[in-house]
Amino acid sequence: MKTVSLSSIIADYRDRKLQEEIATDWGSLVFYRMPAFLVAWAMVPLGVTPNQLTLLGALMVPAMALAAWFLPPGEAMWVVTILALAFNVLDCADGPLARALNRSSLSGRYMDFAADIMYRNVAYGCYGLIADRMWPGAAFPWLAVGLCCGLLATYARVNRLYAEKLFPAKPEVAQAPRRWSAFDVGFSFLSGLDTLLPIIAVLAWQAGMLRGALLWFLLFTAADAVVEVVGNYMKARRRDSGIGG
């Protein structure tokens, strides 16, 4: 039976992912990474594979939708949030588990991406549906607001990934220390809020501000999409000018 120490899992993350996550996903670093390390470490002696862990996380997503639809709104809010938090922990655990077992694979990376996209769309929609059930008769359905948030988040994510294919970083640039501008700091802070969706939603609900949070999510995801598209377009124009020159 393979044994892997918790310290080696943490060290691998520190060497491979820490700097990237500080820049792009501090929310996961602060709230999900340590529980994820513990989950990955516990799964090794049990023989659980990374893909099985990803699949377990993916099963949380339809369970969230069922809870939002069938449970009383107050109970649904707690169940959806707990399932969403569990998904995020498992989403942060499958990569460290794959590296600990030396079982990283393209199929695993694809499953992880597909589950993540499904989660974002369903989670936003669930909170919109719960808001509709709590405050029926709204002039504009909150479910539609939640689904728009999911669509915009997916749109930004797909543009980001396509831009990485169009503009691959040169090795010397990728290895150079990052110089942070005020824009980089602001964008990093806002980007890190993305994985905090369930925490923000449940705190807003407790304060009676769930509908306000949904409007903020809509503004946040729209801004993320606009910044991504405009930034990538300007980068492409600069590349075109360089080629033309």
Contact criterion met (CB below 8 Å) for 125 and 146:
yes
- The dihedral through the CA atoms of 13, 14, 17, 23 has a sign that is positive
Global pTM value: 0.89
Domains of the chain: 6-244 (1.20.120.1760)
Contact criterion met (CB below 8 Å) for 61 and 119:
yes
CA distance 8 to 144: 45
Per-residue pLDDT of the chain (245 residues; tens, 9 = 90+): 567 889 999 998 888 888 888 877 888 888 999 999 999 999 999 999 999 999 999 999 999 999 999 999 999 999 999 999 999 999 999 999 999 988 888 998 999 999 999 999 999 999 999 999 998 877 789 999 999 999 999 999 899 889 888 888 665 544 555 565 555 566 667 777 788 999 999 999 999 999 999 999 999 999 989 988 988 898 888 888 875 43
Angle at 120 between CA 116 and CA 123, to 5 degrees: 125
